[in-house]
Amino acid sequence: MPKQTAYILVGPPGAGKGTQSELLVDNLNLKVIQPGVFLRKEAKNNTEVGILIEGLISYGMIVPDEFVDKRVYTALSRNTRDILFDGYPRTTGQAEKLAGYLKKNHINTYFIQITLPEKLIIERINGRRSCHCGETYHIKHNPPKKFGICDKCGQKLYIRTDSRKPVIRKRVKLYHEQTEPVIKYFQKRHDVRMTFIKVNGNRDIDKVHADIMAAISKTA
């Protein structure tokens, strides 16, 4: 079996991580592991679990590891393609488990960090619009062809509850609180083959993507 490659993509809310994730998936034909999309779908369900998750997400809080991990490793067990982790791992517990998986399967990994100053994060998220199919837009930076309508599926776009200002600030804080220990954890795991890449997110979508691709091929 050929050696697998994995990409872990992180970035503060509003840094265009979702868009970059899609570009990488298309360009490199990746299997995407994206617990955030799954959780938001689950949160729409009027079940006990759905209501609980909706509550956690709305207040910028984190969903318990075991709930997320179960889905992640089920998806991985069925996969043979290269992998993109988008919005995962979020905790050192998840990172530890993932490091073990990457090591065991001899997976070469790129840890890609998109950066963006906090001031710009707030500005960007205010213009964000989402679709129930998982697509995201920005009224200024990435508008749909038809106002308020998803290009991909034609549904009406909406403003996510986690796009409100106080929640954004909480999410940015949470992002730093979560991501920094995860990076530190991986940097100490010398038994896992991991390359760290940092990309400036305050540029055009295509330029950010080109930077990521260039950094990957440079170190491949």
Enumerate the active-site residues.
17, 90, 128, 160, 171
Interface segment toward Zn ion; rule CB under 5 A; list 45-53, 90-98, 144-152, 167-175: 144-152
Q: By rule CB under 5 A, what string of x and - marks binding of each residue 84-123 to Zn ion?
A: ----------------------------------------
Nearest residue to 189 (alpha-carbon basis) of 118, 101, 128, 112: 101
Contact between 159 and Zn ion (CB under 5 A)?
no
Contact between 153 and Zn ion (CB under 5 A)?
yes
In sequence order, which residues have a C-beta less than 8 Å from that of residue 119 and are 6 or more positions away?
A: none
Report in angstroms how near the CB of residue 6 gets to Zn ion at its nearest: 27
Contact between 135 and Zn ion (CB under 5 A)?
yes
Strand-pairing partners, residue 110, are 7, 195
Question: Is the separation of the CB atoms in 60 and 171 below 8 Å?
Answer: yes
Buried b (16+ CB within 10 A) or exposed e, 63-94: bebeebbeebeebbeeeeebbbbbbbbbbbeb
Q: By rule CB under 5 A, what string of x and - marks binding of each residue 64-83 to Zn ion?
A: --------------------
**Number of residues lying near Zn ion (CB under 5 A):** 7
Nearest residue to 57 (alpha-carbon basis) of 175, 160, 172: 160
Contact between 61 and Zn ion (CB under 5 A)?
no
Nearer to Zn ion, 59 or 158 (CB): 158
Contact between 152 and Zn ion (CB under 5 A)?
yes
Contact between 156 and Zn ion (CB under 5 A)?
no
Instruction: Give the three-class secondary structure for 218.
Output: helix
DSSP state, residue 83: E
* Residue ranges in contact with Zn ion by CB under 5 A: 131, 133, 135, 150, 152-153, 155
